[in-house]
Amino acid sequence: MQNGVIVVLTGAGISKESGLATFRDADGEWARVELEDVATPEGYRRNPDLVHAFYNARRKKLQEAALPNAAHLALARLEQEWPDQVLVVTQNIDDLHERAGSRNLIHMHGELLKGRCDLCGTISPWAGEMTRASRCPSCQHPGRLRPHVVWFGEMPLDMPRIYRALETCRLFIAIGTSGNVYPAAGFVTHVQSCGHARTVELNLEPSLGATLFQQTVYGPASQVVPDFVARLLAEASS
Ligand code: APR
């Protein structure tokens, strides 16, 4: 990918209008279940059945009830208009960016529709129920398969590639993220420490890092993101 790209960080807010819960809104996942129980290695060791049930329910909901919304589609359009110039770094584990058409995409917190074997390390597509008895499709061992999701205390994925893009981008856009969780919450500061990129927050309401952005636009992602992308493309063609 060429230097001077656009890096777009997305969080759960971009998928809210697709019917998927965020985490820290009043109706979010962490209002219903303790993150320590379902999103930490300790919680998984303590009660794997509870963790599998949590991700099985989200996997089912994602496949049965969620479709990409106008925000996902707008980001895919931007990438199509500017090939090799747009990188989407998502904290989300849903596949709505892919289904919208985004290709240059990093899931830094993993993917709900994949499983990872603790024994052989193989990462496999996994769309159905996962239980303690599930066998790894590669080594066939039962009981070692976990959701391919990065839990608290674990290292997010593809960080060297993400930081290289942050250090060379000319535009950094954060969409639908509350700025609660690092390292993603620190990306805007990293961008600003490396150069003169433009930084923009598109969110329903100010995030914890709102004052760090040069430009902020608030409203539902399905309205704000397509508008912003349209203006970006119009600016470039004028
Ligand atoms: N449009 C735009 N933004 C929205 C919308 C919407 N329709 N609805 C909610 N939001 C915003 C909220 O205002 C909030 O700022 O999306 C953000 C969601 O914040 P969180 O629930 O904290 O989700 P996120 O920032 O993605 O969480 C980061 O925390 O629990 C971990 O691994 C999990 O990836 C997740 C990480």
Told to judge if 107 belongs to the known catalytic residues of this protein, a careful annotator would answer no
Report the nearest-CA residue for atom 9 of ligand 1.
Answer: 13
Check if 69 has its Cβ closer than 6 Å to any atom of ligand 1: no
Query: By 3-state DSSP, what share of the chain in percent is helix, strand and coil, each rounded to 5?
Result: 40, 20, 40
Q: What is the reported pLDDT for 1?
A: 40
Gap between the Cα atoms of 2 and 86, Å rounded: 10
Gap between the Cα atoms of 231 and 238, Å rounded: 10
Sequence letter at residue 71: A
Residue 213: which pLDDT band, with cuts at 50, 70 and 90?
Answer: very high
Lowest pLDDT segment from 11-15, 25-29, 104-108: 25-29
Q: What is the reported pLDDT for 137?
A: 97
Q: What is the reported pLDDT for 220?
A: 98
Check if 13 has its Cβ closer than 6 Å to any atom of ligand 1: yes
Atom number of ligand 1 nearest to Cα 149: 32
**pLDDT surpasses 70 at 2:** no
Q: What percent of the chain has pLDDT over 90?
A: 95
Mean pLDDT, rounded, for 34-61: 97
- Reference 114, options 73, 87, 146, 77; nearest CA is 146
Gap between the Cα atoms of 186 and 136, Å rounded: 35
Residue 237: which pLDDT band, with cuts at 50, 70 and 90?
Answer: confident
Residue 4: which pLDDT band, with cuts at 50, 70 and 90?
Answer: low
Q: What is the reported pLDDT for 34?
A: 95
Q: What is the reported pLDDT for 143?
A: 93
Mean pLDDT, rounded, for 213-229: 98
The SS3 assignment for 29 reads helix
DSSP state of 170: S
User: What would the pLDDT profile of 163-204 be if each residue is shown by its tens digit?
Assistant: 999 999 999 999 999 999 999 999 999 999 998 899 999 999
Gap between the Cα atoms of 147 and 150, Å rounded: 9
**pLDDT surpasses 50 at 3:** no
- Cα 210 to middle of ligand 1, angstroms: 13
Residue to mutate, 96, 157, 204, ligand 1, most ligand atoms under 8 Å from C-beta: 204
- Cα 70 to middle of ligand 1, angstroms: 17
In order, the DSSP letters of 59-124 are HHHHHHH----HHHHHHHHHHHHSTTSEEEEE---SSHHHHHT--SEEETTEEEEEEEETTT--EE
**pLDDT surpasses 70 at 113:** yes
Contacts of 144 (CB under 8 A, 6+ apart): 117, 118, 119, 120, 136
Q: What is the reported pLDDT for 139?
A: 97
